[in-house]
């Protein structure tokens, strides 16, 4: 059966997400991932998923290394891993300055260093149950677990968008979480992972390459494309890092137009600036048959684990997710 994951970043309620993950397990999905943002507490939701499922892997995509303390992240990860009986993957990332600072009132600095130190602290706590740490971005006098983790080692994946962080993933992570990849991304990322892995004498073939792929399934391709426009406008308009990513995929002019409209408060204009080509290059979009074919193309391009990530808001969000989960189910 083909490897496939499902990710939720908002839309369905926490209880509905648990229903969707249960469905995904029944349909043969390998993994389910919950984002940290505005869609509910990811660790609480994943704990609920753990109680309702028995085989699907559960992960965070991603947990910000800024908005929670690192010992709190480690304790939450160990808790979900225990409840799920060893089915948890901790996905970590540096998030975005526009969220960390403006939404959480937290200082954002040295994201690569912060990720490195976070991974080291989490692994130490899982392995030994306590940590004292004097880093550049994290300082912990002492923290100890008052329980024994189920596993002394939990897989840690890290998110990356650009080459420098990608190489760091090769140095320290068990897997990498990409987003809005193109069919060229897999090969480029594997080269950078190998460079990073060589610095720490690691085997890059042991690093799982996964990517979050925005997904819309409909009766016609045009309907699916139109479903995708608001999400891509948000990502390219609000997040400078994602705007740069889309520009780097060959859509510099379009990305600039989206950002300009978004900055002026013209959401409709930002959506109009999202072209079909931008969506096609970075998403899974179309009829069920077309979407399954696109997923296979990503696998063939060097992606180990494609993760569908539908975008939906409002009262019909759960139905939109369910339709995508059913249409793209592994075969």
Domains of the chain, by residue range, sit at 5-218+287-327, 221-283
pTM of the predicted protein model: 0.97
Strands 139-144 and 130-134: antiparallel
Average pLDDT over residues 32-40: 94
Give 139-182 pLDDT, tens digit per residue.
999 999 999 999 999 999 999 999 999 999 999 999 999 999 99
Domain 5-218+287-327: CATH class, spelled out: alpha beta
- Distance between first and last Cα of the chain: 6
3-state secondary structure of 284: strand
Three state DSSP letters for 84-122: CCCCEEEEEECCCHHHHHHHHCCCCCCHHHHHHHHHHHH
Query: Which pLDDT score is estimated for 37?
Result: 87
Q: Residue 1: pLDDT above 80?
A: no
What is the distance between the alpha carbons of residues 88 and 81, in angstroms, rounded to a whole number?
5
Q: Count CB-CB contacts under 10 A for residue 287.
A: 16
Beta-bridge partner residues of 176: 158, 209
Query: Token pair for residue 301?
Result: 């391009």
Residues 54, 122, 102: CA angle, nearest 5 degrees: 95
Q: Residue 90's pLDDT band (boundaries 50, 70, 90)?
A: very high
Candidates 172, 231, 193, 223; CA nearest to 10 is 231
What is the distance between the alpha carbons of residues 90 and 81, in angstroms, rounded to a whole number?
9
Query: Which pLDDT score is estimated for 270?
Result: 98
What angle, rounded to 10 degrees, do the helices at 163-172 and 185-199 form? Answer: 50
Query: Which pLDDT score is estimated for 93?
Result: 97
Query: Which pLDDT score is estimated for 299?
Result: 97
Mean pLDDT of the chain: 97
Average pLDDT over residues 209-223: 97
Buried b (16+ CB within 10 A) or exposed e, 1-27: eebbbbbbbebbebebbbbbbbbbbeb
Query: Which pLDDT score is estimated for 290?
Result: 97
Query: Token pair for residue 51?
Result: 């109680």
Give 219-270 pLDDT, tens digit per residue.
999 999 999 999 999 999 999 999 999 999 999 999 999 999 999 999 999 9
Beta-bridge partner residues of 60: 34
Average pLDDT over residues 62-66: 97
Average pLDDT over residues 42-47: 98
Query: Which pLDDT score is estimated for 331?
Result: 86
The answer to whether 82 and 88 have CB atoms below 8 angstroms apart is no
Q: Residue 98: pLDDT above 90?
A: no
């Amino acid at each position: 059966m083909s490897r496939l994951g499902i990710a939720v970043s908002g839309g369905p309620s926490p209880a509905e997400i648990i229903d969707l993950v249960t469905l995904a397990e029944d349909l043969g999905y390998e993994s389910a991932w919950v984002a940290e943002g505005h869609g509910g507490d990811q660790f609480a939701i994943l704990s609920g998923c753990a109680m309702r499922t028995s085989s699907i892997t559960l992960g965070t995509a991603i947990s910000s290394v800024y908005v929670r303390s690192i010992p709190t992240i480690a304790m939450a990860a160990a808790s979900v891993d225990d409840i799920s009986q060893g089915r948890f993957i901790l996905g970590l990332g540096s998030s975005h300055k526009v969220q960390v600072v403006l939404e959480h009132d937290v200082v954002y600095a040295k994201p690569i260093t912060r990720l490195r130190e976070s991974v080291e602290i989490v692994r130490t706590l899982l392995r030994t149950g306590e940590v004292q740490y004097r880093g550049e971005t994290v300082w912990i006098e002492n923290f100890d677990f008052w329980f024994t983790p189920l596993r002394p080692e939990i897989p840690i994946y890290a998110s990356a968008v650009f080459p420098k962080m990608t190489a760091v993933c090769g140095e320290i992570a068990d897997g990498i979480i990409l987003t809005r990849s193109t069919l060229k991304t897999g090969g480029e990322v594997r080269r950078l992972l190998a460079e990073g892995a060589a610095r720490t004498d690691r085997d890059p073939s042991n690093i799982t390459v996964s990517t979050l792929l925005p997904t819309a399934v409909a009766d016609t391709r045009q309907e699916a494309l139109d479903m995708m426009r608001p999400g891509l406008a948000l990502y390219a308009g609000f997040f400078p890092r994602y705007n740069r990513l889309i520009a780097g995929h060959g859509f510099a002019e379009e990305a600039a137009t989206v950002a300009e409209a978004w900055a002026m408060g013209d959401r409709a204009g930002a959506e109009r600036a999202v072209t079909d080509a931008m969506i096609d290059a970075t998403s899974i979009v179309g009829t069920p048959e077309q979407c399954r074919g696109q997923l296979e193309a990503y696998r063939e391009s060097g992606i180990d684990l494609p993760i569908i990530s539908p975008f939906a808001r409002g009262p019909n969000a759960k139905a939109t997710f369910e339709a995508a989960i059913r249409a793209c189910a592994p075969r």
